[in-house]
Amino acid sequence: MIKSIQELEEIRKKALEELEFRKQQGEGIRIVVGMATCGIAAGARPVMLKFVEEIQKRNLKNVTVVQTGCIGLCKYEPIVEVYEPNKEKVTYVKMTPEKVSKVVAEHIVNGKPVYEYTIGYEENKEANK
């Protein structure tokens, strides 16, 4: 490892504080990004990365971003599911890094899901075509 021992001690300290915070807050928000072949091909990697960056930037300590495999809806990829404790899961479809910024600001921070990006909205739109 390249970092000096002192720097690593710093990171360790910070990490332990973050961990303590997580434990105190209990279950937080989980953001799950679909990373099947089709998701990756459709651009899931930059989407997931954008979530990680935004969460870091805003210092949202109780949010985790994880990946999963096939969600089973290729044509809607990249797909992102947001799980909040005691709330219904929200599924976002055809995600882009730009959409991520809005989802983080409105949904993750302010608790209001962005309906126009959800699967429900998309399906409605298709049904009315």
Partner 1 sequence: MNELSLYILDLVQNSIEAGATFVKIEIVEDLENDIFLISIEDNGRGIPKELINEVTNPFYTTRKTRKVGLGLALASQLAKDCNGKLIIDSSENGTKVKIKLQHSHIDRPPIGNIVDTLLLLVCGTPDVDFVYVHRAGKKEFVFDTNKLKSVLGEGVPLNLPSVQEFIKEELSKGLSNLFGGANFND
Q: Can you give the binding site for partner 1, defined by CB under 8 A?
A: 1-3, 8, 11-12, 14-16, 18-19, 22, 33, 35-38, 40-41, 45-46, 48-49, 52, 55-56, 59, 61, 64-67, 69-70
Question: What DSSP character marks residue 61?
Answer: T
- Residue from 35, 55, 71, 93 in contact with ligand FES (CB under 6 A): 71
- Residue from 72, 86, 110, 129 in contact with ligand FES (CB under 6 A): 72
Residue 29, beta-bridge partner list: 63
**Residue 94's closest CA among 113, 57, 128, 121?**
121
Please answer whether residues 71 and 33 qualify as being in contact, where contact means their C-beta atoms are separated by less than 8 angstroms: no
Nearer to ligand FES, 36 or 63 (CB): 36
**Residue 32's closest CA among 77, 76, 65?**
65
Interacting residues with ligand FES (CB under 6 A): 36, 38, 70-74, 77
